Amino acid sequence: MSGRRGSRSAVTRREKILRAASRLIVKNGYRGTSLDAVVEQAGCSKSAIYEYFGSKEGLLAALTEDIVHELSLTLFKYSHSDLSVEDTLVGYARKALELVLAERHVAIIRVIISEVWRFPKLGFSYYQLGPKAVQRQFADFLEIMSRSGRLEIEDSGDASRVFWAILLWDSLHGQLVGAVVPPDDDQIDVMARRAVAQFLAMCGERRPGGSRRNS
């Protein structure tokens, strides 16, 4: 019992540090945010930051890795259910939109873009730990669906990139430059279903018996 309490306490402490770091980074920029400021805002010790994240760069990386981890769990949950491929993709797309288009995440991307000239590794780290990692995870899922005959896909890597482009290109770029506001739950549902329909029109879902789903 005490072990579980300790684990929950560590998760809470980690999340508290991340929330404090994200607020400060969004407000002051990456260079303008010191670990001392994070310590003060989070009410923790500097040793706790080093223990959980290793460095200030590790803090920023963790904000991205958490999204990738949550999307991985979502994909695992849906792919091991009795849902159709279409419903699995819609559920996954909805979760992806919720996480990626969240105001905190969009604000972090803006900071990375603004700071990448001074800290080139930030952009590379974000891309590898975020978009690239998610694309690889999703490509693995598509490969499984293709081998099982449930989707018609020649190259799962290319198909993954197409899916993410359809899902996020317009909405994410619109938010990054302040041209559109974050979508609400109803809009996210519409966006997810539209993106999946377009994707399946190119990589059609196979019905039992081998017939192809036509969108």
Mean pLDDT of successive 10-residue segments in the chain (215 residues)? 54 86 87 91 91 88 85 86 91 95 90 87 89 94 90 93 96 94 96 96 64 49
CA distance 193 to 96: 12
pLDDT at residue 65, as a whole number: 85
Residue 152, burial from CB neighbour count under 10 angstroms (0-12, 13-18, 19+)? middle
pLDDT at residue 64, as a whole number: 83
pLDDT at residue 100, as a whole number: 94
pTM score, whole prediction:
0.82
- Give the domains, in start order, of the chain with CATH numbers: 1-54 (1.10.10.60), 55-215 (1.10.357.10)
pLDDT at residue 94, as a whole number: 96
pLDDT at residue 1, as a whole number: 45
Q: Which ranges of the chain does DSSP label H, i.e. alpha helix?
A: 2-28, 35-42, 46-53, 56-79, 85-100, 103-115, 120-127, 133-147, 156-176, 185-202
pLDDT at residue 138, as a whole number: 95
pLDDT at residue 207, as a whole number: 53
